[in-house]
Structures are given as structure tokens and as C-alpha cells.
Amino acid sequence: MQRELELKLRRIAVEVRKDVLRMISMADSGHLGSAFSCVDLIVYLYFHLMRVNPQLPGWQERDRFVLSKGHACPSLYAVLARRGYFERQELWNYRKLGSLLQGHPLYTNALGIDAPSGSLGMGIGISCGMAMALKTDFPESRVFCLVGDGELQEGSCWEALMTASHWKLDNLYVIVDRNGLQMEGETETIKALEPLKEKFEAFGLFCLETCGHDFPSIHETFAKAAQEKGFPKAIIAHTKWGRGITLAENGEMPVKASLSRNQVTLLLDELSKESAALSEEER
């Protein structure tokens, strides 16, 4: 990956995190840590990898994105706004009654949202249906499904993976936000997922692992996955819950935190310092 592209994506990711923090603080509701852990992955998809057109959100040959871990939707909303699907001002209506941007994504094609979410474990199945249809009608189009690691405890995920493998849906990418946490605690304490890579492979997927916050590593991993034909892909992205906020990364912030105005200011200052450090790198 070229250094210029990496810096651009890192800069966008910091600004997205700032917007996510503002959205959640204004709504006084939301999953900050879970949203922050997947920002870099969504930024990479929408600002580099995926074939999309914000001016034609219904373009049939586009790639599709399914956010199965729908509670992290502030990150998706903030990325879509910066990508030009809708005005950034709409972000401040997050979770308001009647808003287009609810606490889980609604299927709203005009906003660039390709699928709804609700109960965890639905996204891979939805993505399989999309991938099967696209194989027939638009074989160059791909489906990217982002799942939480905790939601892989749902049996429906593995049923859908069997379907993906059986039909050789090599246009399907299942991306795991492997931050190691779920609402009640650590995934490995509640119901262990490891060895996760071997489980995906046993279900007939081509599986790779990457650092979910390192853009060159993400880029290299998707490039390798794209070369494999005849297999659906699974990418385990190792991430930090609350990436970008020291308190969250150190486990000192509750899963669903209600933030004071002073806390929000301090957290925005921390993110602004990261922006300043990026500016120094660019010089």
C-alpha cells in the first residue's frame, strides 16, 4: 500500500471516530467501544476496496456491505456521510424519534444501507442470499459482511457458512471484528471461539488473519483473499475494543458508557492529538 493512501485512510478514520463520539454523546446512548473497534475496517472498504457510487446508491453492479453487528452502526453512518451518501448534519439526529439513523440500521437504499440488522447472527445468511443472486446477475460484484466475534456463538452463523461453502460463494467475504469482548465480558470466558481460524477452514472457507487497525496489513490480506477462487472468504481482524481512546483500550470504560460533557471534551482532545500526529507524518 502506498504511504499516501495509508495516511489518507488513517486521517479519515480519526475524523470518523470523532463523529461517532459526538453522535453517541448527543444521543446519550450507543456502543462506543464496539463502534470504534471496526472503524478502520469500514473506512478501508468504503474509501478504497468496494465498488460503490454515492450518487447512484442503487447501482445494481455495486459491491454490497452488510453490518451484522448492527449495534456498531454509528461507525457505518459516519463513514457513509463522509463518503457522500447523505449530509453529515444528519448524524446529529442519531437515535432520535423519526430519524433515518436508528440504533440499528434500517434498509434504506437511498442512504447507502444495503441490509437491516437486528438480532445478532442474521448478517451472514442475508449476505449468502445476496452473494448467490449476484453470482448469477453481476458476477463481478462482491458482498462484505462484518460480524462481531461474540455473535459467532449464534448457530445461525454456522448454518449460513455451510451454505456459503456448499454453493462456493467466492464473492462473499465474512469479516470478523475480533476484539475479544461481548456485552457480558470476554468471549473466551463466556463461550470460547478458538481455534477460530481452524473452525472457518473446517466449514470450507478460505481464512486469513490480520490486524484490524493496520491499513497495509488489511490491504495485503484482502489482496491475498481475492486471489482464491471457489471458496468463500473469512478474514479475522484482530482489533482493540474502543481503539483510539486510552480509557476504553485499557478496559476502564463500561460497555455502554454514559459520557459527561467533560469526558467527551477530553476524548475529543485525545483524538485531535492523533490528528495532529498524522499531520506531522505528512510533512
What is the CATH number for 219? 3.40.50.970
Q: Give the model confidence (pLDDT) of 176-188 as tens digits.
A: 999 999 988 999 9
Give the pLDDT score at 255.
60
Give the pLDDT score at 259.
78
Q: Say what the alpha-carbon torsion angle 258, 260, 263, 265 is, to the nearest 10 degrees.
A: 120
**Which residues make Cβ contacts (< 8 Å) with residue 28, sequence separation at least 6?**
258, 259
206 pLDDT more than 90: yes
Percent of the chain with pLDDT over 70: 98
- Quote the domain boundaries for residue 262: 3-282
CB 76 within 8 A of CB 46: no
Distance CA 15, CA 76 (A): 13
Per DSSP, 47 falls in state: I
71 pLDDT more than 90: yes
CB 101 within 8 A of CB 95: yes
Comparison of pLDDT for 263 and 272, the residue scoring more: 272
Distance CA 32, CA 55 (A): 29
Residue whose C-alpha is closest to residue 63's, from 179, 216, 226, 205: 226
Give the pLDDT score at 263.
85
CB 68 within 8 A of CB 120: yes
- In this prediction, residues 197-212 reach a mean pLDDT of 98
Give the pLDDT score at 262.
86
The count of structural domains within the chain is 1
**Which residues make Cβ contacts (< 8 Å) with residue 199, sequence separation at least 6?**
193
Residue 249's pLDDT band (cuts 50, 70, 90) = confident
282 pLDDT more than 90: no
254 pLDDT more than 70: no
